[in-house]
Amino acid sequence: MTEAQIRFVSLLRRECSRFWKIKRQTLGAPLLETFLYISVFGAALGSRVKSLHGYDYVVFIVPGLIMMAWAINAFSNNSSSILQQKFQRAIDDQLSSPASPLELLLAFSLGGFLRGLLISTLTFLCATALFAVSGDHSLPVHHPLVLLAALFLVGFFFSQLGVLVGVRAEQFDDVSFAQTFILQPLIFLGGVFYSSALLPEPYRTLTHLNPVYYMINLVRYGFLGYTEASVALSLGLLAVAVAALFTVNLRLFTTGYKLRA
């Protein structure tokens, strides 16, 4: 391995070990939430709604839950990690190290990305196990290539968003506010637990103005083959958004904006 590769692997290992050391909080809690969502919504609403667009209700909501798990964990990991290091001034050592701004940004980004990947994978396995036990449902994968592209872009988008919020935040309340009052409402109102086609106006239009709605549709299309928006356009706009966020974050790391004392 070259010196640059060793630096990058070391930085990435530090980010991964950070969330791995507190597995009950970073892994156990999200899995419990997913189990409760599937159990409560699947049992309570599923007994009334029965099916949406030809799919059992509990099957219809699982793709959204997988996307939500990846998004929230990628965002929270990176935003809290950067802010914590800013408070401890540990970020100063990294900025003054031989590591380039690109290496630092990629290490932070992949830390949250991998945590989100792990949680979403466990969410998928948890849902599959629950379906296998019940024997009444199954989770298909109709378009694996679209699913992989959508999950990759969604994970990287929220990973970059977490980096941006962490860099700009001045206290932990800033991160908590962004996650509690902006991110979670956008996800919950983006169609995780319902179909916008069933909503009356103006709620249907308001849902279509939510960017997370199109991300959920992409993941749902990858699993179920059902979508309410253009897949190609959604993928294209999401890729542009990811590239724009990455460019902004790289600029912030290069200049040391709100990172240097």
Which pLDDT score is estimated for 135?
Answer: 66
Q: Mean pLDDT in the chain?
A: 88
Each residue's pLDDT tens digit, 139-174: 889 999 999 999 999 999 999 999 999 999 989 899
Judged against a pLDDT cut of 70, whether residue 46 lies above it is answered with no
**Which is more confidently placed, 48 or 186?**
186
Judged against a pLDDT cut of 70, whether residue 136 lies above it is answered with no
Instruction: Give one DSSP letter per residue of 192-217, joined into a string.
Output: SSS-GGGPPTTHHHHHHT-HHHHHHH
Q: How confident is the model at residue 25 (pLDDT cuts 50, 70, 90)?
A: confident
Domains of the chain: which residue ranges? 3-255
- Whole-structure pTM value: 0.92
What average pLDDT does this structure show over 105-109? Answer: 93
Each residue's pLDDT tens digit, 232-247: 999 999 999 999 999 9
Q: How confident is the model at residue 47 (pLDDT cuts 50, 70, 90)?
A: low
Percent of the chain with pLDDT over 70: 95
Judged against a pLDDT cut of 90, whether residue 181 lies above it is answered with yes
Which pLDDT score is estimated for 143?
Answer: 96
Q: Which of 124-128, 163-167, 173-177 has the least mean pLDDT?
A: 124-128
Judged against a pLDDT cut of 90, whether residue 27 lies above it is answered with no
